[in-house]
């Protein structure tokens, strides 16, 4: 695959990549960093893509694995965040606050559970979620049930 084909592929799937990066980040700068990491891993992984799944499923898997790996690295090597006066993630209307509450709760989940919820929120079938994360569809259903219960028990802190 040449650079033009890769660019087309990224344009077709940028919303997927961005959504995954957003769910694994705390600010827009981190989203951009994760996005770039995913692109690097996609480019490097293309020669080994065998077509055993759809390209979309493969992109989900690479995106999630990249973000989960980066999350693990952050925990091993914590950084001190710089503060800014502007918060582009902040919005004041009721719907945005509901979305923010869901985001905050989902962000407190373990990375693997967060990945499953993200895929489910995107309307992806249990079978495809299973293919992306490497578990059975029945395990997806069980995990989602437990995750929903966990989310219900969380406070807004």
Question: For residue range 16-59, what is the model confidence (pLDDT) as tens digits?
Answer: 999 899 888 888 888 999 999 999 999 999 988 888 889 999 99
CATH 1.10.10.10 placement within the chain? 91-157
pLDDT-flagged residues of the chain (< 70): 77-92, 156-157
- CA 119 to centroid of chain Cα atoms: 8
C-beta separation of 77 from 108 below 8 A = no
CA dist 133 and 60 (Å) reads: 9
pLDDT of residue 77: 63
Residue 129 backbone dihedrals phi, psi, to 5 degrees = -60, -45
CA dist 10 and 6 (Å) reads: 6
CATH among 1.10.1740.10, 2.30.30.90, 2.170.190.11, 3.40.50.300 for 1-86 = 1.10.1740.10
**Mean pLDDT of all residues in the chain?**
85
Regarding the domain delimited by 91-157, which CATH topology (the fold level of the hierarchy) does it fall under? Arc Repressor Mutant, subunit A (1.10.10)
Per-residue DSSP letter, 89: T
C-beta separation of 123 from 56 below 8 A = no
C-beta separation of 147 from 117 below 8 A = yes
């Amino acid at each position: 695959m040449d650079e033009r084909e890769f660019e087309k592929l990224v344009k077709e799937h940028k919303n997927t990549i961005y959504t995954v990066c957003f769910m694994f980040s705390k600010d827009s700068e981190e989203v951009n960093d994760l996005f770039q990491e995913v692109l690097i891993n996609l480019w490097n992984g293309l020669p080994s893509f065998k077509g055993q799944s759809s390209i979309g499923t493969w992109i989900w898997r690479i995106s999630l694995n990249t973000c989960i790996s980066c999350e693990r690295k952050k925990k091993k090597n914590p950084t001190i965040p710089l503060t800014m006066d502007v918060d582009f993630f902040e919005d004041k209307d009721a719907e945005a606050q509901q979305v923010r509450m869901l985001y905050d709760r989902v962000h407190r989940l373990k990375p693997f559970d967060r990945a499953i919820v993200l895929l489910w929120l995107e309307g992806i079938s249990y079978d495809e979620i299973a293919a992306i994360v490497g578990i059975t569809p029945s395990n997806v259903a069980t995990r989602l049930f437990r995750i929903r219960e966990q989310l219900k028990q969380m406070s807004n802190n």
